[in-house]
Structure 1
Amino acid sequence: MMQVMAAPRTANFALPWLLLTGLLLLALAGCGQLADTPAPARQGELDLRDWHPQRDGPVELSGQWGFYWQQLLQPDELPASPPAYAPVPGYWTKYPGDLPATGFATFHLRVLVEQGSRALAIYAPGEGSAYTLWVNGERLGSVGRVGVDADTTQPARHRRTYFLRDHDGELDIVVQIANFNHRKAGFRNALILGDAEQLHTSQRLAWLADAFVIGMILVFALHYLMLFLFHREDKSSLYFSLLSLAVGLRASLTSQGLLLWLAPDAAWPWLLRLEYMAVFLTPAFYTGFMRALYPQEFPRFLLRTLWALGLAFSIVTLFSSTLFASELIPAFEVVYFSTLLVMLVCLVRVFQRRRDYWPYILAASALVGGLNTMEALHLTGRLSWGNLSHVGFLAFLLVQSLMLSVRSADKDRRLSQLSHDLEERNLSLQQSERKYRELFEDSQDVIFLADIEGHILDVSPSCEALLGYRPEEIVAMENLDQLGERSERRRMFDIVANEGSTLDFITRLNHRDGYGVPVSVAATQRRDENGRLIGFQGYVRNLSDRFEAQEQRQRAERLEQIATLDPLTRCFNRRYFQDASTREIARAGRQGSDLSLILFDLDHFKRINDTHGHATGDKVLISIARLVNSKIRSSDVLARYGGEEFVVMLPETQVDQALQRAEDLRAQVESVVIETTKGERIGVTVSLGVAQWQRGESLTDLLERADRALYVAKKAGRNLARVAEA
């Protein structure tokens, strides 16, 4: 049994290092301090005439900005007053109205400053999506590409400083923002206004501090990786190197975004995925490091669990959209804080037993745990600041370097620890072997062992139920081609040989009776005590039930689409519209809410068919349906009612609002240019009838009133919107 030893006497030398760490943190945290905003903006106007840039320092442009939801307006397109005011900084998902995370908006602020002040600049920390900035009618720049949907929006995250031209005591600021890639949507980081020279200098200092911190972290990562390559028995160096790389990677993508500066053309969604993967794997790296130091206090199951969770989150992040990946952060927060509690128990055991170097671990863990907790809260939006984890980690590295210096000088203690690790590994190996044999015999999955050439050495009895062959028959096979394609089998073993493992290799095996069986194969490498590859091991799982359920689900989805969608335009059909509208009328009757309807058709559509052909006519219908569908709300219902006639149901909408919506749709359709099948460019117009539902009125009556209004619009010359009489 390992002797519990007191802390090293050299622990007293930790004080100078801790003082140095504290001074470093204070110095770095003090970079870029902002002046207090004299008063936040109110109703789209911020009065800074008593603010002096050189004396008071930079100031945040926070408060109430004019807010134009689902509108991308340029300065000359802004109305006299906005429809709403929104707090900046903030997420529009928290604004009144239950706005979705995906969407676009325009923000407007009028800033009054002292006339004749020195050259000013605006520092934009970046929104993590896409934005375009105008000041006094001049477009200063963009980050990413602002669009109206996910296809036309290109997200990016760059910190920019924009230098302003001469002004007359007023700054008219317009910002367009579009987000279709992240759950934290909106004007997330306030713009900072200040003296151009001060902002430029503070930005350079911030970059220098960030480069210093990240450079130090990466130097430590390389150092510990080299230590591991020369002393592979010490897994703490490997895990600490991985931990340093993960923190360094995330720090280079956040804070001042050094990696974004070094690789400006890199696809930001993939960089965001890398950032999330670094976050998800960090607990596993840190736990692996702590277990390598204190194997008795940090159980193996904790490390395996964190590896499994980290890889699961990372794989989902890698193969999903960045919007979905960002939704994983709150779930990971639960994992993180649960892990924090378990690790706290483990650390208490370390301190109670006075394990080697516990004062260093206490100081470093408290520092990293506190700053990482702030980081987790910052990621979920509960803290507006807190991106200091990489600074705290540098302090952790400094403390850790002192600990390793003491540790390397105490060879007797190190040998004792290694002896204990060996004893624990032998015990774990025996337990694993016993559990493996029980699992091998009882598992419903087919467990196998193969040599380096892919020949089966051993296979569990469950192979007979899956493939119809007894274990001894499969082991005796010299040629496994009768079980499946040789190329597939070779490809799987090549993946495992090159990458170390495969978790879900989908293929098809042949049953003895001649039919194929869909399976999932998970396999890993087998190595001898010298690390030489000697074969493979894994399991095969029957996917027949999963494939059958998937096919049934796909058939059901296709049938549902056929029943509800128009086959040409892919918008809802008449039957679905009647059902949905009947429900909306019943709901409006119960709740006393407003409900309006727009009925429209294409002007002179028969002439388009006769002149340009039915293929062009179909193309016109499809284009108009797509345009209208992109402009309506998610609660609205668009349907093709027949031929060239369409209808839109507008819940919670009064007739004057519906008329405005109709006018907007009419203008947007009129601006569309469609290319015919012969390459000609034609325009189309629509006539629209608008009606508001009246209590007691049926859907048929509502449609008839809207149709009469449509008839009036056509009689008045077409390309018009008219309201039905009550």
Structure 2
Amino acid sequence: MYLWYYYGVIYFIKFKNYMTYVKYKSSSLFFLLLFFCLSFTGCGNVENSEDKIPQAALGVLDLRDWNFQGKGLIPLEGEWAFVWEQLLSPQKMRASDAAHYAFVPDKWYNYFIDGENPDSQGFATFSLTLILPGKEQYYGFSFDGVGSAYTLWMNGQLLLKSGTVGTSKEQMVPNKIPQSAFFKSSGEPLELVLHISNFHHKKGGFRNSLYVGLPNQIQSFQRNAWTLEAFTLGILFIMGLYHLSVFVFRKKFRSALYFALLCFAFFMRLGITNQDLLLLAFPFVSWTLAFYLDYITLFFIPPLVALFYRSLYPEDIPRVFLHIFCALSGLFSLYIILAGTYLASFSIQYYQVLILLEIGYYLYFLIRINYKKREGAMVITIASIILFITSSIEILSLWDWLGADKIGVYGFLSFILVQSILLSLRYSQSFARVESLTKALKSTNRYLQESEIRYRNFFENSIDILFLTDEESRIIDVSPSSEKMLGFSRADVLHRKVTDLFSSVVYDTLYEELCQSGEPVRNSEVVLRHRDGHKIEALVTLALRFDDQGNPAGLQGSVHDNTDKKRADREKMRILELEQIALTDPLTKAYNRRFFSEVAKKELTRAQRKGSSFSLVILDIDFFKNVNDQYGHLIGDEVLINLTHLCHEYIRSTDILARFGGEEFVILFPDSPGIETLKRVELLRENVSRSVIAHKDGEEIRISISLGISSWNPGQESNLKELLDQADQALYQAKESGRNKALLFGEDLLSDLS
């Protein structure tokens, strides 16, 4: 019944969301949310409210009047006999005078024994006398377990077992797989004894109901639960793969990536909770590993939701909000790994409080995007509120405030379906825009081609020389601009060969290329002679001309005077070369000190404005004087040049390398904290020490380098001079401590990775 009701809600949501977006935005939102909330309020373990369900009293549950055939299975709830800190056999349990009566299901810390509440860690024995209808009949038990370890005995015979029950943490092995067992009853009272131990979780006790029913009812109960969960897992997994593939082929759509990760996170959580289907499929996964996976996936769901929202609406969620979410998730994950399962289980409530606070912020975010009328805002609002309501209900149920837990994943399932509509809508709109732009581009190109033909018919007004030739390359028409460009009038040029305008070798080359490709030869550089003898640098374009029957009829072409542009280009190149000379070291071609100082000041200003980090590295060749003295200054120059090349191989394109003078270099690493920079230059240092830097008469020359590093981080008050001084101090310490080292200036003066 629950399953059919749920599917009905899902299909209703899909239809209503479509209608909402298309036509009825405002009026449908409230109705849809109200319907969904009421549907989940009414969904749960369906029980007949007209019949009072029997409960155990003083350790006895009499079900002789319970009609299993008509009313179905029943939970064995009520007062069970309970003995704390003892694991008693069925015989000793009957004889024990230490038994109390405790309501089941519940946690140990809610019991009151001998004036105090038991601790969540410990072990206990529960017992119940179960009286079934008198006739011989097969029955079955279905038990989700207690979250730790238990052993269930019936009339002294072992019936169900999960994990290993023990009296200490070292002895017990937790497990949480749902189980069922079947037995034959003759109508005699059945003595149930349940041993439970817990040393790994804050919620110790008889936490879930033990159900009894006819075998077909137990099987149907288990099968329906597995079917619903498998169906949901399938949807989550397939939707995750689908959106991941969308991202793989369209890297621009980061929302698809975050949505896929959300699907996989809920897939993991559902698979290792509820019916534990993933644990059944992979039995080698331990209880502890499943615990960590459950908590860590939960911790990272809120940051993924925030990333997803920001990928859709980057202007409406500040980046600092993402940083806070990610930092909290990382801290909680690190804590549970370091603290162990028992202490870690206490952290979940604090994180759930943070989730409720985050939901409050998201509600503000949803109001904001609706107020600004962002694209798809109404659809994402509907999906988000569904998710928020179900998540809040699940959290409050885990706090024992409500009784409808484990519905958050189904809220996310609705979220998936609604978001899929939104994402599909966005993708279809994007493709529609691409198609529209393609059509517009084709129309524009067609118009330009038509315009080109039209204007070519009126080439007399062209500044460029436009000409037509016959099949023998004789000019049969030419624009009047030939007189201005070449000094020859139209009459002077007509009936002359094209080779009279420029070299026959150049023309033959262009003509051959034109015939081979069949495509126009565009903007080929040629040199023409003016009538007065001076050179003209020009660009020639040639194309085949066809008659009305499509047969070759000659050529059509244009000549563009490119002299002024070429002259300007040469002047520009000359200026660039002068600028390059002014900015670089003439020997190594690295930047010089003046240029480095200007760039470093700008980087410091940028880092202060953006809140990013950067590092400075001063590099010095060890014993470089000995190289000059032993091999000469020419070899020393070769060493400096080759060292510059090596440095460029190990730094990024955004990093700046400059020669400060002599054998000293400095490197600027933007957006690179000190430790990261130290790792980079350590690789450079190791490579230099292994490399042959030069040769002299067959002798291999090797060198080593020492490096000092300083870094600037947000909030730091250091100026450029202070950073250079710090790097120089680090360099000095590297040389004093033996050379061939890279040292970082820091709080403890220096840190060494070498």
TM superposition score normalised by structure 1: 0.58
- Looking at structure 1, the residues matched to 303 and 749 of structure 2 have their Cα atoms a distance apart, in angstroms, of 39
In the alignment, which of 50, 62, 66 is matched to residue 77 of structure 2? 62
Instruction: Look up the SS of the partner of 2:267 in the other structure.
Output: helix
Q: Distance in 2 between matches of 1:361 and 1:72?
A: 54
Matching residue within 275, 280, 287 for 1:256: 275
| Partner of residue 340, structure 1 | 359
Residues 277-676 of structure 1: matches in 2 within 5 Å?
277-411=296-430, 434-436=609-611, 449-450=677-678, 451=680, 454-455=683-684, 459-460=710-711, 470-472=726-728, 474=730
- State how far apart, in whole Å, the 2-side matches of 1:266 and 1:40 are: 37
Q: Is the 8 A contact 2:288 2:341 kept in 1?
A: yes
Contact 1:239 1:285 in 2 (8 A): yes
Distance 1:303 1:27 in 2: 31
Confirm or deny: 8 A CA contact 2:33 2:382 kept in the other structure. no
Counterpart in the other structure of 1:90: 106
Where does structure 2 lack aligned partners over 5 or more consecutive residues? 1-17, 435-603, 617-672, 685-706
Deviates more, 1:121-130 or 1:80-89: 80-89
Q: How does 1:186-265 map to 2 (within 5 A)?
A: 186-265=205-284
Secondary structure (helix, strand or coil) at the match of 1:410 reads helix
1:11 corresponds to 2:22:
yes
1:460 to 1:233, Cα distance in 2 relative to 1, 3 A: same
Contact 1:25 1:392 in 2 (8 A): no
Match of residue 115 from structure 1: 134
CA distance in 2, matches of 1:201, 1:31: 16
Q: Which moved more, 1:272-281 or 1:450-459?
A: 450-459
Report Cα offsets for 1:251-290 as digits up to 9, x if no partner. 0011211111111232111111100001111100011101
Corresponding letter in the other structure for 1:258: L
Q: What residue identity is the alignment partner of 1:84?
A: H
Matched, 1:33 2:46: yes
CA distance in 1, matches of 2:737, 2:286: 43
CA distance in 2, matches of 1:8, 1:483: 74
Q: Residues 469 and 155 (structure 1 numbering): CA distance in 2 closer, same or farther, change over 3 Å?
A: farther
- Residue 239 of structure 1: CA displacement? 1.1
CA shift digits 1:61-81 (9 cap, x unpaired):
111111100000121221445
Q: Which protein has greater RCO, CA pairs closer than 8 Å, 6+ apart?
A: 1
Specify the code of the residue in structure 1 equivalent to 2:397. H
| Aligned 8 A contact 2:132 2:185 in 1 | no
2:185 equivalent in structure 1: 166
Distance 1:278 1:414, change over 3 A: farther
Cα distance, 1:452 vs. partner? 7.2
Q: Is the 8 A contact 1:32 1:203 kept in 2?
A: no
Q: 1:431: Cα distance to partner? A: 7.4
**What amino acid is aligned across from residue 726 of structure 2 in structure 1?**
R
Q: Note the alpha carbon deviations across 1:563-606, whole angstroms, 9 max, x for none.
A: xxxxxxxxxxxxxxxxxxxxxxxxxxxxxxxxxxxxxxxxxxxx
Alpha-carbon offset, residue 459 of structure 1: 2.0
Partner of 1:541: none
Supply the distance in 1 between the matched residues of 2:121 and 2:739 (Cα, whole angstroms): 49
| Change over 3 Å in CA distance of 1:60–1:432 after alignment to 2 | farther
Distance of aligned partners of 1:430 and 1:180 in 2 relative to their CA distance in 1, 3 Å threshold: farther
Residues in 2 aligned to 1:193 and 1:479: alpha-carbon distance in whole angstroms: 80
Return the alpha-carbon distance in structure 2 between the equivalents of residues 231 and 10 of structure 1. 25
Opposite residue 22 of structure 2, the aligned amino acid is: A
What CA distance in whole angstroms lies between the structure 2 residues aligned with 1:510 and 1:248?
Answer: 45
Task: Indicate if the aligned counterparts of 1:123 and 1:199 stay in contact, CA closer than 8 A.
Answer: yes
Match of 1:78, SS state, is helix
Answer with 163-172 or 243-252: which moved more: 163-172
What is the root-mean-square deviation of aligned Cα atoms in Å?
4.2
Q: Secondary structure at the match of 2:350?
A: helix
Mark the runs of 5 or more structure 1 residues left unpaired by the alignment: 1-6, 416-428, 490-508, 522-726
Helix, strand or coil: the match of 1:165? strand
Distance 1:289 1:370 in 2: 19
Q: Which amino acid letter does the alignment assign opposite residue 53 of structure 2?
A: P
Deviation at 1:168, TM superposition (A): 2.2
SS in 1 for 2:339: coil
The 1:254/1:457 distance shift into structure 2, 3 A limit, reads farther
Q: Deviations over 1:208-255 (max 9, x none)?
A: 111011111011111111111222222211111111111110000112
Post-superposition Cα deviations, 1:136-183, rounded to whole Å, max 9, x if no partner, equal: 221112100000000001001010011122232422211100000000
Q: Secondary structure of the residue that 1:449 maps to in structure 2?
A: helix
Shift of 1:510: 10
**Structure 1 pair 475–368 and aligned structure 2 pair: CA distance change class (3 A):** farther
Structure 1 pair 378–277 and aligned structure 2 pair: CA distance change class (3 A): farther
Question: How far, CA to CA, are the matches of 1:432 and 1:172 in structure 2?
Answer: 74
SS in 2 for 1:220: helix
Say if 1:448 and 1:459, in contact at 8 Å, map to a contact too. no
Q: Give, in whole Å, the separation in 1 of the partners of 2:34 and 2:275.
A: 21
| Distance in 2, Cα, partners of 1:372 & 1:430 | 45
- One-letter amino acid of the structure 1 residue matched with residue 711 of structure 2: S
Distance 1:461 1:10 in 2: 50
Q: What SS does structure 1 have at the residue aligned with 2:241? A: helix
Q: 1:229 to 1:40 in 2, by over 3 A?
A: same
In structure 2, do the counterparts of structure 1 residues 282 and 37 end up closer, same or farther at CA, with 3 Å as the change threshold?
farther
Cα distance in 2 between the residues matched to 1:338 and 1:258: 32
The 8 Å contact of residues 138 and 185 in structure 2, kept in 1 or not, is answered as: yes
Contact map agreement 1:440 1:447 (CA 8 A) in 2: no
Q: Is the 8 A contact 1:32 1:206 kept in 2?
A: no
Summarize the Cα distance change of 1:166–1:208 in structure 2 as closer, same or farther, 3 Å threshold: same
Deviation at 1:204, TM superposition (A): 0.9
Q: Deviations over 1:410-429 (max 9, x none)?
A: 239999xxxxxxxxxxxxx9
The alignment covers a number of residue pairs equal to 473
SS at match of 2:345: helix
Distance of 1:13 and 1:453 partners within structure 2: 63
Q: What SS class does the counterpart of residue 184 from structure 2 fall into?
A: coil
Question: 1:488-510 deviations in whole A, cap 9, x for unaligned?
Answer: x9xxxxxxxxxxxxxxxxxxx89
Larger Rg belongs to? 2
Q: Aligned with 1:155: secondary structure?
A: coil
SS of the aligned residue for 2:80 comes to strand
| 8 Å contact from structure 1 (residues 448, 458) kept in 2 | no
2-side partners of 1:518 and 1:89: how far apart? 58
CA distance in 2, matches of 1:170, 1:125: 24
Q: Distance in 1 between matches of 2:606 and 2:118?
A: 54
